[in-house]
């Protein structure tokens, strides 16, 4: 099957959306599907206002039209509500091509956190953007319920996964090489080796409470950093709020941006993973931390409610300090076992099930068929 994916989030960005798309594409291609991703790398870009690390495509219309004409997709999926996603939505609607969309971020809450614009205004924009989608793929049931309350009735569940070969409690090969065979360490990921050396050199005052992810205002990081907790607070990640928060909290260990191999080492050494965000729809870092045996402390909000819930792998409480201290008593085998129930293979299966099929008739006119795609992948020329 030829699947065309339009996204404003792509490498070199490092976030949950990019990670999800990367893993999804790997799964789809391994099953024999043809996947083409339209992303900002194909266009001239400008910095996103208030978030210059993110580049936005400038006038991507011609490129989107060309991709549709040349690739002749059998399914179109729109990932983001940015310039590329908007162009794909409007062109697909004009050509009467069915498509699906995804809801990755609590967009109204995100915009309010960064600009102060009331939720009701951005919720109206979301209803317009996603209302024409055959299916809006949403990572958790609690977010589906929220969107339905805001007038979106075409939402379906599309869960996430975690790479258990990368994220697990066992000592990595790099760690074993560093301990027993230093001569072989040059074969390992250099970023991973560097963080291992850093962790080994630290005199850690236990317990160690960790946050990993983007360091930005919408992540509500101050709610974690201001807590009165024993031991140490760690932060792994980067973002527009990092410099200011570093000055305000010099007692925190700031590890900066890390790749997945290095991040897994930090998860293994942390005692509790603290997730203060109230705007995430899922939170892949929750799965990554739990897969490494690190229990979670979070607010009882969309995302943690579904990912952690009543599993016993973490503690959800309106008092984040209470949650963090209680999570210290969770055996590390519990979050590891719970994380194992989330796989990228199941994520890909759900994605394929929710796609809206396109059949190309004479003169590239479309014949809409509402039936869902099932069975084996369609072979393409």
**What order of strands is seen across the sheet that includes strand 136-138?**
34-38, 2-6, 75-78, 100-102, 136-138, 155-157
- Domain 173-339 belongs in CATH node 2.60.40.10: no
Alpha helix (H) residue ranges in the chain: 16-30, 61-71, 83-94, 107-115, 119-131, 141-149, 173-180, 190-201, 222-225, 242-248, 260-269, 284-291, 304-307, 320-327, 333-339, 344-354
Query: 2-161+344-368 and 173-339 share one CATH topology?
Result: yes
Give the model's confidence band at 379: pLDDT under 50 very low, under 70 low, under 90 confident, else very high.
Answer: very low
What does 188-243 look like in DSSP terms, one character per residue? S-HHHHHHHHHHHH----S-EEEEES--SGGGTTHHHHT---SSEEEEE---TTHH
pLDDT reported for residue 364 = 53
| pLDDT mean across residues, the chain | 90
User: Which positions ≥6 away from 189 have C-beta within 8 Å?
Assistant: 174, 259, 261, 262
pLDDT-derived band at 184 (thresholds 50, 70, 90) equals confident
Tell me the Ramachandran region of residue 303: left when phi exceeds 0, alpha when psi lies from -120 to 50, beta otherwise.
left
CA dist., res. 127 & res. 122, Å (int) = 9
- In this predicted structure, the answer to whether residue 380 has a pLDDT above a threshold of 60 is no
Q: Is the pLDDT of residue 238 over 80?
A: yes
Percent of the chain with pLDDT over 70: 91
Integer Cα distance of 10 and 20 in angstroms: 10
Residue 374 has pLDDT above 80, yes or no: no
pLDDT band at 210 (very low <50, low <70, confident <90, very high): very high
Residue that is written with structure tokens 């291609």 in the block: 29
Question: Looking at the DSSP assignment, which residues form a beta bridge with residue 56?
Answer: 46
End-to-end C-alpha distance for the chain, whole angstroms: 10
Ordered by start, the domain boundaries in the chain are 2-161+344-368, 173-339
* Rounded distance between C-alpha atoms, residue 35 and residue 25, angstroms: 7
pTM: 0.86
- The whole-number pLDDT of residue 319 equals 98
Q: What is the dihedral of CA 303, 19, 168, 280, to 10 degrees?
A: -20
What pLDDT is recorded for position 113?
A: 64
User: Quick one: fold of 2-161+344-368?
Assistant: Rossmann fold (3.40.50)
For 110-137, the pLDDT digits (tens) are: 666 666 777 788 788 899 999 999 999 9
Condensed to tens digits (0 to 9), the pLDDT of residues 241-266 reads 999 999 999 999 999 999 999 999 99
CB neighbour class for 276 (10 Å; exposed up to 12, middle 13-18, buried from 19) = buried
pLDDT value at position 366?
47
Report pLDDT digits (tens) over 315-367. Answer: 999 999 999 999 999 999 999 999 999 999 999 999 999 999 998 876 554 44
């Amino acid at each position: 099957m030829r699947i065309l994916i339009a996204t404003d989030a792509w490498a070199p960005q490092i976030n949950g959306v990019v990670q999800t798309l990367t893993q999804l594409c790997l799964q789809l291609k391994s099953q024999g599907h043809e996947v083409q991703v339209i992303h900002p790398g194909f266009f001239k870009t400008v910095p996103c206002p208030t978030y210059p690390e993110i580049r936005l495509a400038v006038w991507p219309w011609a490129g989107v039209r060309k991709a549709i004409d040349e690739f002749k997709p059998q399914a179109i999926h729109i990932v983001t509500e940015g310039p590329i996603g908007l162009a794909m939505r409007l062109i697909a609607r004009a050509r009467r091509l069915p498509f699906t969309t995804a809801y990755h971020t609590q967009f109204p809450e995100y915009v309010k956190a960064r600009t102060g614009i009331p939720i009701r205004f951005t919720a109206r924009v979301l209803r317009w953007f996603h209302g024409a989608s055959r299916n809006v793929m949403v990572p958790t049931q609690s977010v589906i319920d929220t969107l339905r309350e805001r007038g979106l009735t075409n939402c379906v569940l599309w869960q996430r996964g975690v790479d258990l070969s990368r994220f697990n409690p066992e000592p990595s090969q790099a760690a074993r090489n560093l301990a027993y065979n230093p001569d072989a360490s040059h074969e390992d990921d250099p970023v991973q080796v560097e963080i291992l050396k850093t962790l080994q050199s630290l005199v850690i005052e236990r317990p160690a409470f960790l946050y990993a992810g983007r360091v930005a205002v919408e992540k509500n990081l101050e709610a974690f950093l201001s807590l009165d907790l024993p031991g140490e607070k760690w932060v792994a990640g980067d973002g527009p709020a990092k410099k200011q928060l570093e000055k305000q909290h010099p007692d925190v260990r700031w590890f900066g941006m890390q790749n997945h191999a290095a991040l897994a080492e930090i998860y293994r050494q942390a005692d509790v993973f603290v997730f203060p965000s109230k705007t995430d729809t899922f939170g892949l870092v929750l799965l990554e931390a739990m897969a490494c045996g690190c229990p979670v402390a979070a607010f009882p909000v969309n995302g943690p409610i579904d990912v952690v819930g009543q599993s016993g792998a973490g503690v959800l409480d309106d008092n984040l300090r209470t949650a963090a201290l209680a999570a210290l008593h969770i055996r590390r085998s519990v979050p590891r076992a719970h994380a194992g129930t989330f796989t990228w293979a199941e994520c890909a299966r759900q994605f394929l099930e929710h796609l809206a099929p396109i059949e190309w008739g004479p003169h590239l006119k479309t014949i809409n068929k509402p039936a869902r795609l099932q069975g084996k992948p369609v072979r393409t020329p």
